[in-house]
Structure 1
Amino acid sequence: MEEKMQHPVVGSRRVDHLKEQDDSLTLNYGIEDTPDFVTTVVLGFQNVLTAFGGLVAVPLVIAGIAGFGVTDTAYMISAALLVSGIVSIIQSKGFGPKKFRVGAGIPTIMGTDFGFVGPANAVINTMGGGIAGYLGGTMMGALIEIGLSFFVKPLMKFFPPVVTGSVIALMGMTLMPVAFEWVGGGVGAANFGDPFNLIIASFVFLIVLGINHYGSKRIAPAAVLLGIVIGYLVCIPLGMVDFSQVAQAQWFAFPQLFKFGINFDLKFAIPFVAGYLVTIIETVGVMQTIGEVTQTKLSDEDIANGVRADGVGSFIGPALGSGPVATFSQNAGLIPLTRNASRSVAIAAGVILMLMSFFPKFATLVSIMPMPVLGGAGILMFGTVAGAGIKSLSRVKMNNRNLLIVSSAIGVGLGVAFRPEVVAGLPGILGGLFSSGISAGTIVALVLNILLKEEK
């Protein structure tokens, strides 16, 4: 694998003020760097593996809500992978003229989001729209997000370091329960919390930790991939992998436009409005997090372009039979852990996702990976996101005002994340905005930043 010069200033968008001689700031591959082909593919596949659970979980749930059989469920999963690959490339590369650019141009993985599952159930079953109503409603809702993306720039002045640092730290903290759900064996698993699952997760955790810290500069960036592969292989003779699902999967599948039909009725778009507002808030936070860990100075326009890519992806997805997409935060934890911020690697991951969508057998082979294997790697990935937020806050002067903002944002965010039923009764859009710990904490930080006067 090609070795790059390790210096904290690589590429035209690298943050110039990060001049501390701190090894934690050193990236093997900066955002503008392009590793050799083999390295790019290996690191790209690593991105795919760490995000795969989230990529397939939502289409599985939506298919269950719609009452799909095996064939239609498999198609929806393949469509989700295809759309994730396409939009990941758009977000990571960036396309279009300056004023109408789509994509932030930073290494990002996109995928379907759980925030739309509740509204989907309401449209499909309660409102009687079926899957066609769900797809039509999300497409119309995506137009709202695209329109609002042009108003993100004026709002960025309300995101000073005390707000962004709080959001980044909160993002890692609220993701940790997800990692431990994987550690336990996955929600709903018959053997959830079995000590053997904890042993497997601990084994993978130690492998990733050891390779990342003691591995050479050629091996360390692939620590997560190696840990997951080794853990997967160990689980096979232990009887934790069921290959019968692979045998049942098709060899090849081709995407179809509007396979499940489409219904553009405005009433089916209304339940998704709050979901798209939450997505905008969370995308801003993820963009700032990725900018922090890639040592890239993002302009307000870059972040607006990232939100716009979310909207465009959410318009493309339903047309191909998938759902709306959002910017995944898993990649934010993977970047500092592997010291790889290359945009080319994220684009390669997008290509791999697209290829996997055409070959369901291969996608199924990845999807049957035991959850504790992914959980062992997830602890480190999500922990590094929280660490990046804490590091960002360390550069903020902790006077009384700023301490109140940080404490309130993290307190409310974690409270909502751990006890979402407390805010479940909030009416309408308010309930949607506070349905996520990240969005709830962000809103609190934004409001307090406006209300509390700056100390002289």
Structure 2
Amino acid sequence: MEQQLLYQVEDRPPVLATAVLLSLQHLLAALGGIIAVPLVVGGALKLPADQIVALVNAALLGSGIVTIIQCKGVGPVGIRLPCVMGTSFAFVGAGISVGLEHGVAGILGSSLVGSLVMILGSFFMPVIRRFFPHTVTSVVVTLIGLSLTPVAVDWAAGGVGARDYGAVGHLAIAGFVLALVIAFVQWGKGIVSASAVVLGIASGYVLCLALGLIDFTQVREAPVFAIPQPLHFGMAFPVSGIVAMSIAFLVTIVETTGTFMALGAATQTRIPGKRLASGILCDGVGSAFAAVMSSPPLSTFAQNVGVVSLTGVASRHVVTLTGVLLLLAGLFPVLGALVVTIPQPVLGGAGLMMFAMIVAAGIRMLAGTAPSRRNTLIIAVSLGCGLAVTVRPDLLARMPAFVREVFGSGITVGALVAVALNLLLPGREHEEDEPA
């Protein structure tokens, strides 16, 4: 039985304050990932602090504008579902390798040209959609949740690389937030249940504030207002960089397709090929726009599928407001800096629940597949291969760079294996497309 949605895709919360509160939890789920990519790339390239800040501001502004377009739609661009756009870790490896040789200008120029792969690829999505029947889609949705869950576990333990990783205090705070989110969802009514994520995070933040665990240094140092400058770093177009980024965009098409399928399941919305093409086109056009605005490439975030699954708020108008909040965070860096002060264990408690909800959605979909030996083989092998890369990324350490780039994501590996097995094994399952 499908979960009852509190707000359908086209619904609008009757009160603006309610819509802002609901949109805030999407912001909290996405902001850390959006900021992390420019910080990682900037740190690897040893950029000065002011240039890293410029990258972060551009990423926030670009993410906000493209989120609005993805949710609202502009002509053929935008899937018109509750999607949050953000800088993607799928481009970090290629970006750093290009940046070390050609600087940030090389990353941005390569991204601009590489985004054409996604823009052109969008026109083939009605065909590609047919390679994602129910069994394949179920595997991809499950792998998205399984791949994100370790991220939440790392947050709950204090963050990757933390000296006190796994400290009892971190786990206790994460457990406190997790328990509150469960209570709000299960026993809360109306807006309390719908905003369970933001209420849980806010409660955890207050607890950490009382314990003296909040560091406001970044807030004090952040500028109050800043306008990201287009072409701030300039652009260069090295052939090697364009090839590397184009490969990353090809991989992202597979991952984003899976994310849209997961979002369709969470919002109880059919995703025909033409609608999928509009979403992929927005990812490509958005990444080209981001490059001009001096931001790393963008893609649709899977994290926010968990927010929809957990809260039952599937309104694209709510997430449009999230885009507005991201835009404001890009113009007022002090706001983004304030959100970044949220301790990782607080995010971990809420994230564990959100990402596990995606796993649960995938399991429900898997349970709906036809019980046959063929489907069991597809599910078992593709999940096994996807998890192999997810839990043991060093498995590919001795492989050529091209192989690591293409198969470095468990979601991509699982999706490709599932598609291949569905094509090769007798009794192929077809996905009949329908008009948008």
* Same fold? TM cut 0.5: yes
Q: Does 1:345 align with 2:318?
A: yes
- Whether the aligned pair in 2 keeps the contact of 1:89 and 1:350 (CA below 8 Å) is yes
Q: In the TM superposition, what is the alpha-carbon distance from 1:389 to its structure 2 partner?
A: 0.8
Alignment deviations for residues 121-161 of structure 1 (CA, whole Å, 9 cap, x no partner) = 21111xx2011111111111011111111112112111110
Q: Does 1:102 align with 2:81?
A: no
- Whether the aligned pair in 2 keeps the contact of 1:424 and 1:435 (CA below 8 Å) is no
Distance in 2, Cα, partners of 1:392 & 1:233: 38
Alignment deviations for residues 90-121 of structure 1 (CA, whole Å, 9 cap, x no partner) = 1112211xxxx111111100101111111112
Distance in 2, Cα, partners of 1:455 & 1:178: 35
Equivalent residue number for residue 129 of structure 2: 156
Alignment of 1:48-447 (within 5 A): 48-96=27-75, 101-125=76-100, 128-427=101-400, 429-447=402-420
- Whether the aligned pair in 1 keeps the contact of 2:9 and 2:267 (CA below 8 Å) is yes
TM-score normalized by structure 2? 0.96
Alignment deviations for residues 191-217 of structure 1 (CA, whole Å, 9 cap, x no partner) = 211110000000000000000110012
Equivalent residue number for residue 14 of structure 1: none
- Whether the aligned pair in 2 keeps the contact of 1:292 and 1:388 (CA below 8 Å) is yes
- Whether the aligned pair in 2 keeps the contact of 1:95 and 1:102 (CA below 8 Å) is yes
1:32 corresponds, among 10, 19, 35, to: 10
Q: Which amino acid aligns with 2:31?
A: F
Gaps (5+ residues) in structure 1?
A: 1-21
**SS state at 2:195 partner:** helix
Greater alpha carbon shift after TM alignment, 430-439 vs 66-75: 66-75
Equivalent residue number for residue 12 of structure 1: none
- Whether the aligned pair in 2 keeps the contact of 1:34 and 1:344 (CA below 8 Å) is yes
Distance in 2, Cα, partners of 1:224 & 1:146: 34
Greater alpha carbon shift after TM alignment, 250-259 vs 430-439: 430-439
Alignment deviations for residues 324-353 of structure 1 (CA, whole Å, 9 cap, x no partner) = 011100111110211100010010000011
Alignment deviations for residues 355-404 of structure 1 (CA, whole Å, 9 cap, x no partner) = 11111111101012100000000111001101111111211112000000
**SS state at 1:111 partner:** strand
Distance in 2, Cα, partners of 1:304 & 1:417: 28
Equivalent residue number for residue 6 of structure 1: none
- Whether the aligned pair in 2 keeps the contact of 1:86 and 1:351 (CA below 8 Å) is yes
Q: Which amino acid aligns with 1:108?
A: C
Distance in 2, Cα, partners of 1:369 & 1:455: 48
Equivalent residue number for residue 10 of structure 1: none
Distance in 2, Cα, partners of 1:78 & 1:398: 50
- Whether the aligned pair in 1 keeps the contact of 2:73 and 2:79 (CA below 8 Å) is yes
Equivalent residue number for residue 432 of structure 2: none
Q: In the TM superposition, what is the alpha-carbon distance from 1:61 to its structure 2 partner?
A: 0.6
- Whether the aligned pair in 1 keeps the contact of 2:222 and 2:333 (CA below 8 Å) is yes
348 and 396 in structure 1: CA distance in 2 versus 1, 3 angstrom threshold: same
Distance in 2, Cα, partners of 1:58 & 1:221: 29
**SS state at 1:272 partner:** helix
Q: How many residues align?
A: 428
Distance in 2, Cα, partners of 1:77 & 1:131: 13
**SS state at 1:353 partner:** helix
Q: In the TM superposition, what is the alpha-carbon distance from 1:274 to its structure 2 partner?
A: 1.9
- Whether the aligned pair in 1 keeps the contact of 2:93 and 2:405 (CA below 8 Å) is no
- Whether the aligned pair in 2 keeps the contact of 1:273 and 1:429 (CA below 8 Å) is no
- Among all aligned residue pairs of Structure 1 and Structure 2, give the percentage whose two residues are the same amino acid: 42
TM-score normalized by structure 1? 0.92
**SS state at 1:135 partner:** helix
Q: Which amino acid aligns with 1:189?
A: A
Greater alpha carbon shift after TM alignment, 267-276 vs 133-142: 267-276
Q: In the TM superposition, what is the alpha-carbon distance from 1:428 to its structure 2 partner?
A: 5.1
Distance in 1, Cα, partners of 2:371 & 2:69: 38
Distance in 2, Cα, partners of 1:189 & 1:316: 35
Distance in 1, Cα, partners of 2:258 & 2:315: 20
Alignment deviations for residues 6-60 of structure 1 (CA, whole Å, 9 cap, x no partner) = xxxxxxxxxxxxxxxx4x5211100010112111111111110111111111010
